[in-house]
Amino acid sequence: MSIAEVIDIVSKAGELVLSKVESGFSIYHKGTIDLVTDADKASEEYITTELSKRFPGITILGEEEGWSGSQDAEYMWLIDPLDGTTNFAHGNPHYCISVALAKAGQSVLGVVYDPVAKEMFSAEAGGGAFLNGNRIRVSQNDKLQSSLFVTGFPYDAATRKANVAIFGRIMQASQGVRVMGSAALDLCYVACGRVEAYWERSINAWDIAAGSLMVSEAGGQVSNYLGHELNLFKGEILASNGLVHSQLMTLI
């Protein structure tokens, strides 16, 4: 399996998503505030078709189509065909396509592409993380006061409310907290040092599988809120440059 092939698929999915901006697209509701568009659906169909053609027999979990293959399989693809759908639907140019390969629950390959900024993030376990082919590393800032953070608010009301309190505490202690609306890109921004950390709860495996590998391969730390090992399917992540991790845990 070569990461170049996955990069090629994800890059073409990015162009497909951009073409929907030109051609127009329909928006549907999955929940009260949770949206899906024609672009999400077309991107997922393209990615799953190409992955199954090039790497047959591997289980796939896609946000829109769910499982295909055994959920107990050793290897599986985790696909978010359009992360940042709310931004996309509102015409805000901050979204991406995220594809990861997990082995026994751990990400071993991750590709995240921002088709507007033309930024391709990629990582393989043990091989480092890259932005458009150049090695990236987390920031070296260990002071909360000069750190910039990013978080996300999922679609369920209770978790949103709980995160407002955490948001307030970290906002007071830091240089600022951003809410940019794409978990996969949030993680890539930690990996390349644009922000010091990202946290979110009620998050799905397809949102964080590729980005969390990006952070650890860029020298950062990923865990749950208590500092324990990240479980992609448990819906809770704190990802940082490592230097502010424990300080953040006390505020979260």
Interface with ligand IPD (CB under 6 A): 80, 83-86, 152-154, 181-183, 200, 203, 207
CA distances from 95 to 14, 66, 207, 228 (A): 10, 21, 12, 29
80 binds Ca ion (CB under 5 A): yes
Select 87 or 174, whichever has its Cβ closest to Ca ion. 87
Minimum distance from CB of 137 to ligand IPD (Å)? 23
217 binds Ca ion (CB under 5 A): no
Select 79 or 248, whichever has its Cβ closest to ligand IPD. 79
As a residue count, the chain comes to 252
- Distance, in Å, from the CA atom of 71 to the CA atom of 189, rounded to the nearest integer, reads 30
Per-residue interface string for the shown chain with Ca ion, residues 81-110, x marking contact by CB under 5 A: -xx-x-------------------------
CA distances from 136 to 177, 193, 219 (A): 22, 8, 9
- Distance, in Å, from the CA atom of 181 to the CA atom of 48, rounded to the nearest integer, reads 24
Minimum distance from CB of 88 to ligand IPD (Å)? 8
Minimum distance from CB of 159 to Ca ion (Å)? 14
Minimum distance from CB of 249 to Ca ion (Å)? 24
Select 85 or 223, whichever has its Cβ closest to Ca ion. 85
- 122 contacts which partner out of ligand IPD, Ca ion, none, CB within 5 to 8 A by kind? none
- 238 contacts which partner out of ligand IPD, Ca ion, none, CB within 5 to 8 A by kind? none
Minimum distance from CB of 247 to Ca ion (Å)? 27
Q: Residues 6, 37, 43, 63: which binds Ca ion (CB under 5 A)? A: 63
Instruction: Provide the phi-psi class of 78: left if phi over 0, else alpha when psi is between -120 and 50, else beta.
Output: beta
Select 27 or 73, whichever has its Cβ closest to ligand IPD. 27
207 binds Ca ion (CB under 5 A): yes
104-163 residues near Ca ion, rule: CB under 5 A: none
DSSP string, 75-133: EEEEEEEEE-HHHHHHT-S--EEEEEEEETTEEEEEEEEETTTTEEEEEETTS-EEETT
Select 180 or 243, whichever has its Cβ closest to ligand IPD. 180
Select 110 or 242, whichever has its Cβ closest to Ca ion. 110
Shortest CA distance to 98 belongs to which of 14, 171, 195?
A: 14
Is 106 in contact with 186 (CB distance < 8 Å)?
A: no
Select 136 or 205, whichever has its Cβ closest to Ca ion. 205
Shortest CA distance to 149 belongs to which of 131, 163, 135, 129?
A: 163
Neighbours of 63 (CB within 10 A): 22
Is 170 in contact with 115 (CB distance < 8 Å)?
A: no
Applying CB under 5 A, the residues found at the interface with Ca ion are 63, 80, 82-83, 85, 207
